[in-house]
Amino acid sequence: MTEKTAKPKALTGLPSYLLTRIAHRYNQTIYAELRAIGLSTISTRIIASLKVFDALTINELCVHALAEQPTMSRALDRLEADGIIKRTVKDEDNRKRVVRLTGEGEVLFERIWPVTLSANEKMFEGISDQDRDVTMRTLLKVLENIRVHPI
């Protein structure tokens, strides 16, 4: 047997394994809670992104909500029909088409956000502020290293 590659000692020593497993678990848990109030994964991501950015183009929403354009368009059609988002133009001078939350969308955000914050706090239970800060700074740099979209 030719052994070209040493056997990895543990998958948990591999950053990608930890990151993928944490993200998967987090999303499974939180979207089970949000489904109970009638929200899908993509709807939740769209609503949270619009709350933070006020107005986003469909392309920008695809990046933040991690969806492809056809899926995004269908999700926006549903949210618009339910009165949660509206398609509009950025402003009178800039005719770029953007998406915004309606008043009803803002109300829904109030239900999403506490669930999101509480799930995030649970992740970092027992971790010092200093370790949390280093980790967040490092993850931001990791995202910069690998992202494809400049936003």
**Interaction between residue 71 and a second copy (CB under 8 A):** no
**Interaction between residue 126 and a second copy (CB under 8 A):** yes
- Which of 49, 56, 30 has its CA nearest to residue 123? 30
**What are the DSSP calls for the chain, one per residue?**
----SPPPS-GGGSHHHHHHHHHHHHHHHHHHHHHTTT--HHHHHHHHHHHHHS-B-HHHHHHHTT--HHHHHHHHHHHHHTTSEEEEES-SS---EEEEE-HHHHHHHHHHHHHHHHHHHHHTTT--HHHHHHHHHHHHHHHHHH-SS--
Q: Say if CB 96 and CB 57 are below 8 A apart.
A: yes
Closer residue to a second copy, CB minimum distance, 1 or 81: 1
Closer residue to a second copy, CB minimum distance, 95 or 149: 149
How far apart are CB 70 and a second copy at their closest, in Å? 16
Site string for a second copy, 74-113 (x = CB under 8 A): -----------------------------x--x--xx--x
Stretch of residues binding a second copy (CB under 8 A), selected from 20-28, 69-77, 78-86, 88-96: 20-28
**Interaction between residue 32 and a second copy (CB under 8 A):** no
**Interaction between residue 135 and a second copy (CB under 8 A):** yes
Q: For residues 90 and 100, what is the distance between their CA atoms, to the nearest angstrom? A: 9
How far apart are CB 95 and a second copy at their closest, in Å? 26
Q: Which residues bind a second copy (CB under 8 A)?
A: 1, 4-5, 7-16, 18-27, 29-30, 48-49, 51-52, 64, 66, 103, 106, 109-110, 113-114, 116, 119-120, 122-127, 131-132, 134-143, 145-148
